[in-house]
Amino acid sequence: MSIMPEENIEIKSTKKNTDSLLETVSDAEVNSRISFEEFTDERALISHDAFGKKQMKIKVLEVSDENPVLKWKFGDRVKVTKILVTVKHLTTQQVEEAEFDIESIERELAEKRHYSSTNRWIPAEDIKNGYVVGSKHTRLISDASALDYIIF
């Protein structure tokens, strides 16, 4: 099977796009003002538990280079494979961090419970500065929570 030049260009641009999503800007690198388009409110990246006692933030560590299906219908999306979950207990100010390989957790749940509920395809615009927007957190941790790896 040969690759057409048009397809090759699209694959390269997809890889470039996923690499740019994982880049974060450190405080040391920022010496000037950021533009309005680049600004992300911290509150958009945080989700809360039902009782308001915990906060969660998810950082994307690795994405798959797999091309999304039906890009015309669902938009530009990336398939997340590894995440870093940070949970802050508001009552004690204790912070917990854990790295999750969502792909292996999804396989484990499908093997043990014969189903999987994870939708690892996240719209590219819902990843800001390497972090997932709070409204998409449940999508990424549903299988880990079903296997009691995370309680939130």
Residue-wise pLDDT tens digits, 74-114: 678 888 899 999 999 999 999 999 999 988 988 888 888 87
What lies within 8 Å, CB to CB, of 111 at 6+ separation is: none
**97 and 114 in contact (C-beta within 8 Å)?**
no
Evaluate if residue 72 carries a pLDDT over 70: no
- pLDDT at position 18 is 53
Count helices and strands (H / E) in the chain: 4, 7
Main-chain dihedrals φ then ψ at residue 24, nearest 5 degrees: -120, 150
**85 and 105 in contact (C-beta within 8 Å)?**
no
- pLDDT at position 45 is 85
Look at residues 122, 99, 105, 126 and name the one whose alpha carbon lies nearest to residue 44. Answer: 126
Going by pLDDT thresholds of 50, 70 and 90, the confidence category of residue 55 is: very high
- Look at residue 38 and give its three-state secondary structure: coil
With 0-12 / 13-18 / 19 or more C-beta atoms within 10 angstroms meaning exposed / middle / buried, residue 140 is buried
- Helix (H) or strand (E) holding 80, with range, is strand 77-89
- pLDDT at position 10 is 45
What is this structure's pTM? 0.67
d(CA 26, CA 81): 23
Tokens of 64: 């798959």
Across residues 13-36, what is the average pLDDT? Answer: 53
**109 and 115 in contact (C-beta within 8 Å)?**
yes
**65 and 103 in contact (C-beta within 8 Å)?**
no
Say which residue, 44 or 98, is predicted with more confidence. Answer: 98
